[in-house]
Amino acid sequence: MTAIPSVAAGANTSGPPVGKKETTDHKPGGFARAIGIFSRPGVAFWCTFGLILVLGGFLRFWRLGFQSFWCDETATTIRISGSFQFIFKMLQGQGFPPGWYILLWSWVHFLHGVCHVAWGRIFTASVLRFPGALLGWLNVPAAYFLARQFAGRRTSLLIMLLVAINPFFVYYSRDLKMYSAFYLFVTLNMALFLRWQGGRHFPWGVLYILSLMAMVGLDFMGLFLLPIQLSWLLFKRRFRAWDIPIWLLAAGGAGYFTAWWYTRKTGWFQGMLYHHTAGNLQWVSWFNGMNYKAVLGLPTVDLLGFLWPSSMPTPRMISWFELGPLYSQHLATRTVPLISQIEFVAAWALFGVLILGLVPWRRLTRAGREKLKLEAAERAAARGAGRWWHVMLWLALPMIYFGLASLPAKDPWSLFPHFVFWLPRYMGFLAIAWVLWLGAALARLPLKYFRWSVIAVAVLLMTASSLTNTLICRSEPWRFVNQVAVKYFNPKAPGDMFIAYSKTNHSFDDPAISFLQLRHVRILPSGNVWGLNPRQYADFPPYTLLNDWSIAWLKTINTVRRNPQIRTLVLADRFGDVRRGRLSTAAISRRLGRGWKLAAIKRFRWYFQWRYYFFSPWRVRVWQRVSLRPVKNGQTALRKGQSG
């Protein structure tokens, strides 16, 4: 067997040592030749690399505008819809750095000013989400770069594949907020830090500092990586003269920018630190209490795309999503128990794989030990400085901090801020660490057929979960409603249509914005903080938001029936499984009378983000007025039988 220590010591790695014959007649030597330790990647490697990139791009770009904007995306759209100074005005008192909004604003004005794209085309979901999808896609090769600091090519390709199909990364790559860009720079920053530690070239340290500044400029949660990286430095066996100074320079720059932005520019820290308030984050604790479920939910969300443990919607969930008092009465037709059971089994299987990955299976056999030596040699040749205990610290330190920070203020173990940050997207800087752990665990499983079977099942489950971003309705369903309504809308007479929506948990008039985007109308900033007033647009139909009580809907129907100007009535409610009663299709048709006809009806399900197993059954119904009877005073009256 060819001697390995010479490779680790930095000897020539372009081929076998001179004067020695390369061993190929037994398994360890064959494995060495297969993974190409002493050669450059071959055609098979690059084909696999390219296929993974294509798969990751497909999951992120296919039907990018399929989902409606949810309220946070709507707020992002408003913040970039005005001048450059308007961005900073809208971020006052907010916990968001300016980096992402400046990038998105630049993208919008590049399309309009340089490419001469019409404003109406720019302010659509697919165009606005494109930069986030692109940066999310770049996270796929960045994950390979990070994985190579820890493992050989095969394991790194597996980790790259897991990032490409990861439902958490796919979901936020298709979201308009800053998270996909932030996760990309988390991956790059950690990879550059380890590459800097493994190499002797000073530019890696410079790139590390630049990536850290970009990361913190996108999301201040990136600051939590600094103590993790410092712990890696302190646990090193040997220090270099410039290690701590470069880290201090990076930490000082990121810390100064963060302090300046959140004190001088936005005043957010004053509210959080000096006055000990939640800093606009108090809503987090309304539904996501810190407990063992939140802890177990991190790997299942970050790896499989759903919360743990799977359970039926609780009254607290129903209240948080404003599903209405009648939701629980029809719960049997609004859940998919089979999906919940599959999630439950998948979650336990995931935990089992992560634990099995900690067992040193390869050390139990001679062939396994030879493979470990060869992989160590390959990592040394690539100057990979990552160790798997780095991943453990990466996960453990933030979880310990946030766990202690979630304790009551009077608890002696409690740390500031005493309210919960424990939210999947806020904790997303841990997602790539979970993927590293899972990839290493899958690669280390014993028995080839068992290992490949588990890998195949994991890939299928994660891919299926990722496809829900394009195959089912997960964001607020205004786009689905408007697709039906727009077929009957006359821009020359917008007052002829009236739309009534079920009122749900939206803070930024999502129905209005979604409809405007569908009609290719530019979103303009207004004087108030909410940004939009639908009545200022000439080609927007009147609409109203109604609660779930039937009296509000019946009153609206009677008002529309008596208004001769309205020719089309659109009712969009979340009780598509309720076929009887005063709001059934037949009952409403009788109430409207013979002067109206049912023109269209469509049903669909709105699944609640990560909670695939329960949904709200929406229906969109369209009635059109077919006739009016003229009277002497020049007005119009309803036909006989339509009186209220």
pLDDT average, residue stretch 167-195: 95
What's the Cα-to-Cα distance from 270 to each of 266, 503, 555, rounded to whole Å?
Answer: 9, 35, 47
**Sheet of strand 596-608, all strands in order from the earlier edge strand to the far edge:** 543-546, 497-502, 568-573, 611-625, 596-608
pLDDT average, residue stretch 383-390: 82
Q: For residue 268, give both structure tokens.
A: 């957010």
What's the Cα-to-Cα distance from 525 to each of 75, 88, 90, 111, 393, rounded to whole Å?
Answer: 11, 13, 10, 19, 45
Rounded to whole angstroms, the Cα distance separating 115 from 463 reads: 35
Q: Which residue has the higher pLDDT, 18 or 229?
A: 229
Q: How confident is the model at residue 251 (pLDDT cuts 50, 70, 90)?
A: very high
The owner of tokens 């709001």 is 583
pLDDT at 557 over 80: yes
pLDDT average, residue stretch 503-510: 61
What is the structure's pLDDT at 466? 95
Q: How confident is the model at residue 509 (pLDDT cuts 50, 70, 90)?
A: low
Q: Which residue has the higher pLDDT, 415 or 392?
A: 392
Rounded to whole angstroms, the Cα distance separating 163 from 643 reads: 62
- Per the CB < 8 A criterion, the answer to whether 67 and 475 are in contact is yes
Q: What is the pTM of this model?
A: 0.86
Coil, strand or helix: which one is 22?
coil
pLDDT tens per residue across span 566-624: 999 999 998 888 888 899 999 999 999 989 999 999 999 988 766 678 888 999 999 99
Q: State the DSSP code for 274.
A: I
Rounded to whole angstroms, the Cα distance separating 481 from 514 reads: 10
- Per the CB < 8 A criterion, the answer to whether 151 and 385 are in contact is no
The owner of tokens 């939701």 is 327
pLDDT at 256 over 50: yes
Rounded to whole angstroms, the Cα distance separating 441 from 354 reads: 6
What is the structure's pLDDT at 169? 97
What is the structure's pLDDT at 35? 41
pLDDT at 177 over 60: yes
> How do the domains of the chain map onto residue ranges?
1-39, 41-65+124-471, 478-637
Q: How confident is the model at residue 281 (pLDDT cuts 50, 70, 90)?
A: low
What is the structure's pLDDT at 194? 92
pLDDT at 635 over 90: no
Of how many residues is the chain composed? 644
What is the structure's pLDDT at 303? 95
What is the structure's pLDDT at 380? 67
Which of 250, 207, 216, 194 has its CA nearest to residue 390? 194
CB neighbour burial string for 595-620, b if at least 16 within 10 angstroms, e if fewer? bbeebeeeebbbbbebbbbbbbbbbb
Strand partners, 625: 596
- Per the CB < 8 A criterion, the answer to whether 511 and 504 are in contact is no
What is the structure's pLDDT at 510? 63
Q: State the DSSP code for 614.
A: E
Rounded to whole angstroms, the Cα distance separating 313 from 363 reads: 45
Rounded to whole angstroms, the Cα distance separating 143 from 162 reads: 9
pLDDT tens per residue across span 81-130: 888 998 988 888 788 999 999 999 999 999 989 999 887 778 888 999 99
What is the structure's pLDDT at 158? 96
Q: Report CA 583 to chain centroid distance, whole Å.
A: 36
pLDDT tens per residue across span 5-56: 333 333 333 343 434 444 434 444 444 444 444 457 889 999 999 999 999 9
N-to-C CA span, the chain? 94
What is the structure's pLDDT at 279? 60
30 Cβ neighbours under 8 A, 6+ residues apart: 24
Q: How confident is the model at residue 527 (pLDDT cuts 50, 70, 90)?
A: very low
pLDDT average, residue stretch 538-556: 80
Rounded to whole angstroms, the Cα distance separating 22 from 55 reads: 37
pLDDT at 396 over 70: yes
- Per the CB < 8 A criterion, the answer to whether 244 and 58 are in contact is no
pLDDT tens per residue across span 303-362: 999 887 777 777 777 777 777 767 888 888 888 888 888 989 999 999 999 999 888 887
Q: For residue 568, give both structure tokens.
A: 């089309």
Portion of the chain with pLDDT greater than 90, in percent: 39
What's the Cα-to-Cα distance from 6 to each of 3, 13, 17, 363, 386, rounded to whole Å?
Answer: 7, 9, 9, 22, 20
State the average pLDDT for the chain.
81
Name the strand (E) or helix (H) holding 299.
helix 292-304
Which of 80, 73, 74, 105 has its CA nearest to residue 177? 73
Q: Which residue has the higher pLDDT, 320 or 260?
A: 260
Peptide bond into 417 cis (omega under 30): yes
Rounded to whole angstroms, the Cα distance separating 506 from 28 reads: 59
Rounded to whole angstroms, the Cα distance separating 550 from 337 reads: 29
Rounded to whole angstroms, the Cα distance separating 338 from 271 reads: 46
Q: Which residue has the higher pLDDT, 554 or 287?
A: 554
Neighbours of 416 (CB within 10 A): 11
Q: For residue 411, give both structure tokens.
A: 């608890």
What is the structure's pLDDT at 101? 96
Q: How confident is the model at residue 491 (pLDDT cuts 50, 70, 90)?
A: confident
pLDDT at 476 over 70: yes
What's the Cα-to-Cα distance from 130 to each of 60, 143, 407, 414, 524, rounded to whole Å?
Answer: 9, 20, 40, 42, 21
The owner of tokens 């712990």 is 231
What is the structure's pLDDT at 278? 57
